[in-house]
Chains A and B, each alone.
Chain A
Amino acid sequence: MTATRLTRGPRLVRALVCAVLGMACGPQAGSGTVSPTTGDPVGAGPDPQGATEGEGMAELSGRLDALVGRERNLRPAAAADAGKCEELCELATSICSVQEKLCDLADDHPDDGAYQGLCREARNECREAQEGCVHCVEANSNQTLPR
């Protein structure tokens, strides 16, 4: 029972945080831990049952408050970062699309150093931009996912 509660605790916190974040959690994350609520505010659910359960809920409630506060602080930064990643990835797509046009033309001038040099430069920019997009998305998802 205790072991079950120990594993249920973090799940409950994670599920509640997910609900607050409005993120699409997998069904497993909340299964068997959170009862459907009837619009009660977070933390205003049924009273704890038994001494151990009460301690657990109080502890969880405190941790939840802390997490909610942390999430509130992170939300603007995360949203800004998500917007930044979107812009970076859009730029990467555009850069690579223009690079293709440029290099297609450069293929018609295989012996012209200027064309070939610009095509190489464009390829490098495209690669760098794609890497920047991937790094941004990875960093953003690491920052916003609850641990």
Chain B
Amino acid sequence: MRRRSGWSQRVVLGAAIATLGIATLGGCDPQDDDARDGDAAVPDARVTTHPVRSATPTREGLAYIEGVARIHGEADLADDIDTRAAALRRGLALPVPAELAEAEILRLELATRLGETLAPRPEGVAVALDLLEPMLDPERSLPLDRASARALVTLGDLATSAGDDALAVGSYARAIRVMSSLRKELER
């Protein structure tokens, strides 16, 4: 009985390890996630936007904007993906001054460019998705700006590469909705 109990424990432990292993392996490949979700994945095309407020220029704000511009310059000059990605990561790590509404757009642009830089790498798509998905979550309000639309298109392209059709279609639809709102603003 005691021996059986020991086996049971081992079986339970083994099963737990196997389950964990499968779950972990599955988590490494976004396509497997999709396969698990199967046809149940529905494109989420919800998008909420807010107007971009122009902040009163401050010394810190100006320094941040100049810092981001410098980072883009460094990325332009970078010869390889790693150097460019490192520069863009440094840009995303720059502390954002309070009350600088434009920073939201600048950060979206940095993340979009980083996502596009990483995409050609084999593991880059998953990393880029991890970076962009939370920033563009349908629950979050996005600045009504082309930067949001561009970021959503990049997210759609990354999702297409990852075989996640639902995320891709949802992102493209949201990008079109943002651009349509911009168009209507212009036509007013």
Contacts and interface: CB of A to CB of B under 8 A. Distances in A.
Interface stretch (A11-19, A55-63, A98-106): A98-106
Interface in A57-93: 84, 87-88, 91-92
A106 B176 CA distance: 15
A121 interface: yes
B169 A115 contact: yes
Interface stretch (B47-55, B85-93, B135-143, B179-187): B179-187
Interface in B85-112: none
A122 B186 contact: no
Contacts of A95: 176, 179-180, 183
B160 A105 contact: yes
Contacts of B182: 91
A98 B186 contact: no
Given A91-B182, A118-B173, A98 B156 contact: yes
Is the interface on chain B under 10, 10 to 19, 20 to 34, or 35 or more residues? 20 to 34
B160 A102 contact: no
Contacts of B170: 118
Is the interface on chain A under 10, 10 to 19, 20 to 34, or 35 or more residues? 20 to 34
Contacts of B186: 84, 87-88, 91
Given A88-B187, A94-B149, A132-B187, A102 B180 contact: no
A128 B42 CA distance: 26
B43 interface: yes
A109 interface: yes
B173 A102 contact: yes
A101 B173 CA distance: 10
B114 interface: no
Interface in B22-53: 39, 42-43, 45
A87 B42 CA distance: 32
A25 interface: no
Most chain A CB inside 10 Å of its own CB: which residue of B156, B168, B183: B183
Interface of A: 84, 87-88, 91-92, 94-95, 98-99, 101-102, 105-106, 108-109, 112, 114-115, 118, 121-122, 125, 128-129, 132, 136
Task: For the complex of A and B, list the 3 residue pairs with the smallest distance between their C-beta atoms, beginning with the closest.
Answer: A102-B172, A118-B173, A91-B183
